[in-house]
Amino acid sequence: METANRALTADVIAALRYWPGVLWVGQKNPPDPVDVTVLLPFFNEVLQDLPWWNRDWKVDRVQPGLPAETGDHRCDPAVRFTEVSIPGTVVSGNGESLPFVAKVGFTGDRLIRFQAKIGDVVIGPAVAPAGQPEPHPFGRMLAGLMNLRGIPVGDMARAAGLSTSTIHMLRRRHNPNVLQVRLIARVLDMSEADVRVIAGLDDGSTQ
């Protein structure tokens, strides 16, 4: 199964959205507890799908996540993009332990992005064949979101008022500028702010 576009179960989605230290600070009634340990087999399965992953290492502990950015809560949950960081630890067969943080991006019940930091090493799934550069992270995200919504390149180009060659380039290797972010966000039914964050453009950017 591909890491991107992997289906997420309802239990995994609930655990990824359980942020008691962020969304409910200061409220009288804390959220009902969620079993975040359901993320352990999920993370281990994703990691073991990576051909270079050392299967002697396993994620053995996780904590509630911290949202890096969340989609506009006014839009349909099926198309809302959410990214969350889940801290924890990994252990080897000989008992060695290292800190672990998984960065998970998903929309609806589909995984869009997975990246893990273990100690000082960042790992993630490869897309390009060996010897070829990996596509830009925004391009992978854009391609995944378009695929999930069933938006072909030609339809995206027409709806956004951009050329098909521009959409192809954005899906492969180029980061969007501010105007392109605005046009793409509208077609994806996402907030411009969320797409800017995904593209790595901060608020003061004028690219």
Name which of 69-83, 90-104, 115-129, 157-171 the model is least confident about.
69-83
> How far, in whole angstroms, is CA 162 from its chain's centroid?
25
Place of tokens 């995984």: 111
Place of tokens 């199964």: 1
Given a cut of 90, whether residue 9 has pLDDT beyond it is yes
pLDDT score, position 4: 61
Helices 153-160 & 178-188, crossing angle to 10 degrees?
A: 110
pLDDT higher for 125 or 142?
142
Tokens of 178: 């501010």
pLDDT score, position 75: 52
39-95 tens-digit pLDDT? 999 999 999 888 778 889 999 999 999 887 655 555 555 556 788 999 999 999 898
pLDDT score, position 133: 60
pLDDT score, position 206: 41
CATH no. for 137-199: 1.10.260.40
| Local confidence band at 202 (pLDDT 50, 70, 90 cut-offs) | low
- All residues at 6 or more sequence positions from 159 whose CB lies less than 8 Å from its CB, including other chains: 151, 186, 187
**Which amino acid does the sequence have at 171?**
R
Q: What is the pTM of this model?
A: 0.64
* Domain range list for the chain: 10-123, 137-199
Mean pLDDT of the chain: 82
| Local confidence band at 169 (pLDDT 50, 70, 90 cut-offs) | confident
Phi and psi dihedrals of 66, rounded to 5? -120, 120
